[in-house]
C-alpha cells in the first residue's frame, strides 16, 4: 500500500514551549486513521503543520511521495490535501452550490482575469454537472441554492466535506467533525462520510474527541499527548491501552511539566493561557491569569 501522507519528525514551538515534539506518522491510500488525545495535546497544531497553515520548526511532510514541507497551505491543498474545520469555515453570503463551484474552478485552474472580464467566468456545464454529482452524493441537492447562513451546523459540515471533495483530494483531514453536533447528527455524518469514502477511495485522517466515532470509523489511530506520540496501532487496541486511558483521565503525569497551556489555543482551557501568554509578551504583565486566581 502506497502512502498518501508521510510526516517525519514534526516539531513546533510556541514562544519556547514545545507544542509538537518529533511527531511522525504515515497514512496509506484509502486508509481511515484517527488522531486522538486530550485537550491541548497538540492535535490541531499537528493538523495545521501537516496542512501548511502553520510552518513547522522541523520535520518533513510528504504527500504521495512529494516533499511539501516548504509549500504553503493552498499549494498543499492543490496537491490533494482536503480538509474540514472544527469551527466551521464557510464563505458567508454564498450558496452551497457556489462553495462547490469555486472549489471546482480552482481545481481546474482555468480561471483567468480576462475571461472574467469578458463574462466567460461563469460555471461551465461540466463544472455544474460535477457539482450536482457531489451534491447528490452528500444529499445536499435540496439545499443547493440556500445561503450557508440558513444551514444547520451538521449541514454546514457536509458542505465543507463537499467543498473539499470538489478538489478531488487524495486525503481528507477532518478536524473534530462531531463538535457541536448531537449524537444523531454525528451518526448521520459518519454514515455519509463512510459511504462517500468507500465510493471515492480517498484516505481520511480524523481528529476527534468522540471516542465512539473514532472507534467505529477508523481502523488505525495515533495518540498524542503533550506534543508527543504516545501510542499508535489498531484503534481498538490503542483505545484499550493504559497510557491512553491515563492521558484522557488526566492521571498520567509526564516527566518535566512544560505545561500544556503553551500549546496553540485549541479549546476552552487553552484560551486562558492565550490571554496570559499574550499579556506576557506585551511586557506589561508577568502574572498569568492562572496565578492571579
What kind and span of H or E run contains 83? strand 81-83
* Contact pick of 16, 65, 113, 256 for another protein (by CB under 8 A): 113
CB-nearer residue toward another protein: 94 or 197 = 94
CB-nearer residue toward another protein: 191 or 287 = 287
CB-nearer residue toward another protein: 53 or 144 = 53
* Residue 156 binds another protein, judged by CB under 8 A: yes
Burial class of 112 by CB neighbour count within 10 A (0 to 12, 13 to 18, 19+): exposed
Report how far residue 154's alpha carbon sits from residue 188's, in angstroms, rounded to the nearest whole number.
9
CB-nearer residue toward another protein: 48 or 235 = 48
The footprint of another protein on residues 119-148 (CB under 8 A) is 119-122, 147-148
Contact between residue 292 and residue 276 where contact means Cβ atoms under 8 Å apart: no
* Residue 51 binds another protein, judged by CB under 8 A: yes
The footprint of another protein on residues 53-82 (CB under 8 A) is 53, 72-75, 77-78, 82
Report how far residue 41's alpha carbon sits from residue 242's, in angstroms, rounded to the nearest whole number.
17
* Residue 101 binds another protein, judged by CB under 8 A: yes
Please state the closest distance from residue 255 (CB atom) to another protein, in A. 29
Q: 3-state DSSP call for residue 228? A: strand
Please state the closest distance from residue 25 (CB atom) to another protein, in A. 20
Contact between residue 140 and residue 162 where contact means Cβ atoms under 8 Å apart: yes
> What is the total count of residues that contact another protein (CB under 8 A)?
73
* Residue 93 binds another protein, judged by CB under 8 A: yes
210: left (phi over 0), alpha (psi -120 to 50) or beta: beta
* Residue 49 binds another protein, judged by CB under 8 A: no
Q: Tell me the HSE value of 77 on the side-chain side, using a 13 A CA sphere.
A: 19
* Residue 86 binds another protein, judged by CB under 8 A: yes
Other CB atoms within 10 A of residue 142 CB = 9
The footprint of another protein on residues 162-221 (CB under 8 A) is 163-164, 166-167, 180
Amino acid at each position: 500500500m502506497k502512502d498518501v501522507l508521510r510526516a517525519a519528525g514534526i516539531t513546533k514551538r510556541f514562544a519556547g514551549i514545545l507544542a509538537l515534539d518529533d511527531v511522525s506518522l504515515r497514512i496509506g491510500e484509502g486508509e481511515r486513521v484517527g488522531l486522538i488525545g486530550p485537550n491541548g495535546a497538540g492535535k490541531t497544531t499537528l493538523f495545521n503543520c501537516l496542512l501548511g497553515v502553520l510552518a513547522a520548526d522541523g520535520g518533513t511532510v510528504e504527500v504521495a511521495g512529494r516533499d511539501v514541507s516548504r509549500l504553503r497551505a493552498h499549494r498543499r491543498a492543490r496537491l490533494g490535501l482536503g480538509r474540514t474545520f472544527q469551527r466551521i469555515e464557510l464563505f458567508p453570503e454564498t450558496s452551497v452550490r457556489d462553495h462547490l463551484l469555486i472549489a471546482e474552478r480552482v481545481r481546474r485552474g482555468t480561471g483567468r482575469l480576462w475571461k472574467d472580464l469578458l463574462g466567460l467566468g461563469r460555471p461551465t456545464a461540466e463544472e455544474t454537472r460535477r457539482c450536482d454529482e457531489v451534491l447528490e452524493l452528500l444529499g445536499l441537492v435540496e439545499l443547493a441554492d440556500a445561503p450557508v447562513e440558513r444551514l444547520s451546523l451538521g449541514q454546514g459540515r457536509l458542505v465543507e466535506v463537499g467543498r473539499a471533495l470538489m478538489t478531488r483530494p487524495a486525503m481528507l483531514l477532518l478536524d473534530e467533525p462531531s463538535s457541536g453536533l448531537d449524537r444523531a447528527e454525528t451518526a448521520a455524518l459518519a454514515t455519509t462520510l463512510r459511504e462517500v469514502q468507500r465510493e471515492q477511495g480517498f484516505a481520511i485522517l480524523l481528529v476527534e474527541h468522540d471516542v465512539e466515532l473514532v472507534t467505529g470509523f477508523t481502523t488505525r489511530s495515533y495518540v498524542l499527548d503533550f506534543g508527543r506520540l504516545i501510542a499508535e496501532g489498531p484503534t481498538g487496541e490503542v483505545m484499550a491501552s493504559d497510557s491512553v486511558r491515563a492521558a484522557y483521565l488526566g492521571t498520567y503525569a509526564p516527566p518535566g511539566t512544560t505545561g500544556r497551556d503553551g500549546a496553540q489555543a485549541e479549546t476552552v482551557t487553552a484560551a486562558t493561557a492565550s490571554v496570559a501568554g499574550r499579556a506576557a509578551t506585551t511586557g506589561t504583565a508577568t502574572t498569568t491569569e492562572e496565578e492571579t486566581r
